[in-house]
Chain A
Amino acid sequence: MATEALGWWGVPLGILAGTLRGSAPFLFVSLGECLTEKSGKINLGLEGTLLMGAMSAYGISYLSQGTVGEFWAPWLGVLAAGMAGMFLGAIHGWLAQQPRVNDVAVGIAMIIFGSGLAFFLGKPFIQPQAPQLMIFQFGAWSSNPAVQAALKISPLFLLGVAIAPIMQWFFRSTRWGLYIRAVGDSPEAARAMGISIFKVRFLSIVAGSFLAGIGGACLSLYYPGVWTERISSGQGLMAVALVIFARWNPIQCLWASLLFGGAQAIGPAFQSVGINAYYYLFNAAPYILTLVIMIITCSPKRTLVGAPGALGKDD
């Protein structure tokens, strides 16, 4: 491998490359979850949404390559992933708001349903190769192939980076952002303002699931760029923890996603310089990191700073 020429420098470079590649799904899913949780409901089912998004993106990209061409087919796939996410989000948004129904339980059910549906419909797409999304080559200045490989950046990643500040502005400065925050922080006040709680939450969940679906498209059309049943391995769930860590702030979701993407890249980076011994333990790094972060940042005595007031309560 080319990284061997770099010796130990291959490790930080590999982690950087993995961060740029691997953080895109985290970014989209955490932004989607952030939007959902701001309205006062939790969507644990984003794991299923992510898988469904990955499958639809790959499938549509494969099926449409003949009609729209190699370039546009993956973009159509990204759109399909978002739509698939919205479909699952609509089920969650409606069911989780019924009386006596717990949104966490609905989330678990949606994980099973979403992943089942993705595996069911995705069976024919495991073998064929679908056209991948275009990539920006930011590493063309370097003659080192490892640097070039590391700086291949997906437009989806850049899109996600752009969405984070836009969402921040949306929450802070727009009427609809205010509605969502009002519904999430004090539903009574929102109801007094004449806002339909059901409608705002439903739309927030559907929009959040749209973003999570695109996160799935990042997995299957960019990195690792295949469709298998093990493609997500809990990233949709880590996003829930990641939002807590980011204190329900879209900009901090961006930093947290980069951190998680980096943690995920540790194992493969060490493997690329020939250290295989602890590969599986390094693969557990993102989960352990999530757990440690939650242990440090949570407290039994007070609610978290920035947590939407209605989160985890009935109604």
Chain B
Amino acid sequence: MALTSSAAPNWLDRWQRPLEAIVLPVAALVVALLIFGIFCALAGANPVAVYGSIYKAAFGSWSAWQNTLIRASPLMLTALCTALPARLGLVIIGNEGALVIGGLCAVVMGLSIGTSLPPFVGQMTMAIAAIIGGGLWIMLAGALRHYRGVNETISSLLLNYIAIAFMNHLVEGPMRDAEFVTKPSSAELTEALWMGSLPGSRIHYGLIYGLIACVLAYVLIQRTTFGFAARTAGGNLRAARIAGLPVGKLTLAVCFLGGSCAGLAGMIEVAAVQKRINESLVSNYGYAGILVAFVSKHNPLATILVAVLLGGILASGGILQRSHDLPDATVLVFQGIVFLCVLFSDSLYGRLPWFQEKSVV
């Protein structure tokens, strides 16, 4: 053993850590797929055929890719709502609530604008309203954490339910469109404010918003003094305080940014998909976003990749139901298995013999 390690080429040692950071999550995904296969087999479906269907429905054709990317864009944004505060050491899971508040703000703004502004300006105004609404919503959880010591995980989760109840109250009462009878909803946005699609596809511009947000978040966290301060405070709160970092302001700012991303996701959903606000906006993008953030280890660039993967899995939910007779909750079970496997893989860092630092002989 000692012989082989001293004989091992130098580059292997240098690439050990990055390699470990890639191999472990990928291995976790593979293990999750295997466990999911066993689960499907127990439920009476052929696992290989299920894998095939998921691949086909997610990445098998241009049409499948479009479905996947349409779902990936809100996921990128809601994931940032967990990923950004996580760099500060906060576990925020209020993504769904911020998304709903963002969608609500966008619709209120959109309905009051109507056709009075040029479409592009109108959409930007809606986006800004959603960003501010979602941002303030999560900033509330951050402020409660900082000033009152309230556990941010629980408070942000409670805010989800409050946001959904508030939206239900508005669409049942003050904002209800009496002519739309399918389900209680607000009035429809004027067509000028609908978000268009990228040329030659069904993919709406939300994808661009998501990509830009992820790249900006990456630059902000990894390449600016603000990001450095946030990461320092996340690493060691006391040291950050002693170094004179404004921890309170950092907490509020990072929570605002995270919430604003989820709010933007809400605006995209109402402007590109729903066109009005009702209960359909609560479609688990928030909770799936938490998963994306954790799987991507709160790295905004990895978030893009994981969001596309999960978007593909979400896109395959329908086909599992149609051709394998599996309930739509199968996708949720799969998400849970992936999450658990990835968390377990965290405990393996530095414990696997291949990645251990070789002792100098």
Contacts and interface: CB of A to CB of B under 8 A. Distances in A.
- Chains A and B are bound partners: yes
B355 to A, nearest CB: 14
- Provide the main secondary structure of the chain B interface: helix
Contact of B150 (A44, A95, A110, A294): A294
A295 B162 CA distance: 15
B358 interface: no
B154 A237 contact: yes
Interface stretch (B14-22, B73-81, B122-130, B330-338): B330-338
A141 interface: no
Given A120-B329, A291-B162, A300 B148 contact: yes
Contact of B158 (A99, A115, A290): A290
Contacts of A281: 165-166, 169
B336 to A, nearest CB: 3
B146 A300 contact: yes
B298 to A, nearest CB: 11
Interface string A62-75: 00000000000000
Interface residues of A, number: 49
Interface in A234-278: 234, 237-238, 240-241, 244, 277-278
B222 to A, nearest CB: 22
A178 interface: no
A280 B165 contact: yes
Contacts of B294: 105, 108-109
**Of A100, A109, A234, A237, most B-chain CB atoms within 10 Å:** A109
Contacts of A280: 165-166, 168-169, 172
Interface in B274-302: 287, 290-291, 294
A301 B149 contact: yes
A208 B146 CA distance: 30
B327 interface: yes
A87 interface: no
Interface string B136-159: 000000001011111101110111
**Of A120, A278, A279, most B-chain CB atoms within 10 Å:** A120
**Of B153, B159, B168, B328, most A-chain CB atoms within 10 Å:** B153
Contacts, number: 146
B344 interface: yes
Contacts of A241: 151, 154, 158
Interface in B316-334: 326-334
Contacts of B326: 120
Nearest to A281: B169
A307 B22 CA distance: 39
Nearest to B140: A291
Given A105-B343, A280-B165, A112 B287 contact: yes
B150 A114 contact: no
Contacts of B191: none
Interface of A: 44, 91, 95, 98-102, 104-106, 108-120, 123, 233-234, 237-238, 240-241, 244, 277-281, 283-284, 287-288, 290-291, 294-295, 298-301
Given A120-B326, A241-B151, 18 more contacts: A95-B340, A95-B344, A101-B346, A108-B91, A109-B291, A109-B336, A113-B336, A113-B337, A116-B331, A119-B329, A120-B332, A123-B329, A234-B161, A241-B158, A290-B154, A291-B155, A291-B158, A294-B151
19 contacts: A99-B347, A100-B347, A102-B343, A108-B290, A108-B339, A109-B291, A109-B343, A112-B332, A112-B339, A113-B339, A115-B332, A120-B329, A233-B161, A281-B165, A283-B165, A291-B150, A295-B150, A298-B148, A299-B148
Interface of B: 43, 91, 93, 144, 146-151, 153-155, 157-162, 165-166, 168-169, 172-173, 287, 290-291, 294, 326-337, 339-340, 343-344, 346-347, 349, 351
